Amino acid sequence: MALLNPIVADNSTRSGASSGSSLGAATHELQGDKLLEGAFADGGLTDEQAYFLDGDGCPPTEQLCRAASALRDLGKGKVVTFSPKVFIPLTHLCRDFCGYCTFRHSPQTAAQLYMTPEEVLAVARAGERLGCTEALFTLGERPEQRYPEARSWLEDKGYSTTLEYLTAMCRLVMEETTLMPHANPGTMSRRELAALQPFNPSMGLMLESASPRLYEPGGPHEFAPSKRPRVRLRTVELAGELGIPFTTGILVGIGETRRERIDAILEIRQLHRAYGHIQEVIVQNFRAKPATPMEDTGHAPSEELLWTVAVARILLGPDVNLQVPPNLSADDYPTYLAAGINDWGGVSPLTIDFVNPEAPWPGLGDLQRHTEEKGFTLRPRLPVYPEYFKGAQSWLPGSLRDKALSLADHEGYVRGGMERYAGRD
């Protein structure tokens, strides 16, 4: 197959060895090539074949990266995207306790219970002036179920739940600014997703892991009922049933094995094959934070992230958008372009990453320079990818599609391109 030539032909230049060890290495790599050929076939690798990417006889990471890069080039070419955004942490209150989180606060430690509508609009309008097009709403999971202070605050404002208030704030940003919301509030019911849908061109929920071990006693999700894999997968499935473009992904380095990462990627793949709504998959590396139960765990090794990114591309295929957050790998983020990614996710010229406040975003000039040095073109995108609103098969309701089209150029990227952000480092 023509696409496999860069992979197989590369072997031919390495296989002229006469020693037993060299012959063994060449044989091992040729076996890996035979396995990886399936990634380019219709339907990709089977679930059974996927697990051969880990364990005895699995292809080396370098070989996986070559295949992943070829797949990415097939589906996405040499364009790499990012979403210029503002981060709106609507509330830091949360009913859950995760072993690695510094985002959550209790009413006693939070600076405020919820952001007010005026504060939400102020952040959105400041981002608007800087050319941002995404308002990322991130918040704790259903704090009113744990804290009476949260219930009282919501009741005083005329809301019964945090998600009801979130819906109102998404509508406010949609109607009062040029930004488009992207809600990431945790698990959601069908009714809650449907209420948010008219004001969000896309939504998101990280699967994080498909491993039930992580919520066993002593695990990072022991005290986080919303992190049960089946609960999170059900939210992703409901989004598919409702036709909502959706972002999900996995965390690397919170105690899961490589096989369990494959489990999670296959779960995501199964849902995308059923509904076609997974607009983006994030492969995010764990960063240990002080004053958390996992502070001594250590950051996820770069080698593990590289392997996981390549495997994700190989299993998800050429058409899925694959992201690594650049601020969480500040020293080597361009490396992951060689593993098959085509997106850097949301990057803000205004707000910090409130989930990872120790990790500043790269300047947009630096991001562009590093991307171009690897042979790619950097393009700003909306919080919904072009393939979900361009053409006759738009996934968006009329008003959302109209707004997306007004912000986009003829290819579906942000109108004005990188020139819109010239000089903003």
How many other C-beta atoms lie within 10 A of the C-beta of residue 301?
Answer: 12
Nearest Cα to 294, choosing from 283, 286, 282? 286
> Position of tokens 């372009």?
337
Across the chain, mean pLDDT equals 92
Higher-confidence residue of 169 and 16: namely 169
Please name which of 90, 91, 99, 151 lies closest in space to residue 123, comparing C-alpha atoms: 90
pLDDT tens, position by position, 120-139: 999 999 999 999 999 999 99
CATH number for the domain formed by residue range(s) 79-421? 3.20.20.70
Whether the pLDDT of residue 57 is over 90: the answer is no
Strands 180-184 and 202-204: parallel
- Give CA 218 to chain center in angstroms: 26
Phi-psi region of 134 (alpha: psi -120 to 50; beta: other; left: phi over 0): beta
Structure tokens at 237: 């499935």
Q: Which two tokens stand for residue 291?
A: 């004053």
Q: Indicate the residue type of 279.
A: Q
Structural domain boundaries of the chain? 2-70, 79-421
**pLDDT per residue over 364-407, tens digit each?**
999 999 999 999 999 999 999 999 999 878 899 999 999 999 99
Using 50, 70 and 90 to split pLDDT, how confident is the model at 424? Answer: low
| Per-residue pLDDT reduced to its tens digit, 259-268 | 999 999 999 9
* pLDDT tens-digit readout, 295-350: 989 899 999 999 999 999 999 999 999 999 999 999 999 999 999 999 999 999 99
Q: How far is CA 35 from CA 48, 52, 118, 167, 191, in A?
A: 11, 8, 56, 46, 43
3-state secondary structure of 223: strand
Given this model, what pLDDT does residue 58 score?
87
Q: What percent of the chain has pLDDT over 90?
A: 88
pLDDT in tens, 8-32: 334 433 333 444 444 344 444 545 6
Distance CA 47, CA 70 (A): 21
* Mean pLDDT value of segment 152-165: 98
Length, in residues, of the chain: 425
CB of 239 closer than 8 Å to CB of 272? no
pLDDT at 232 over 80: yes
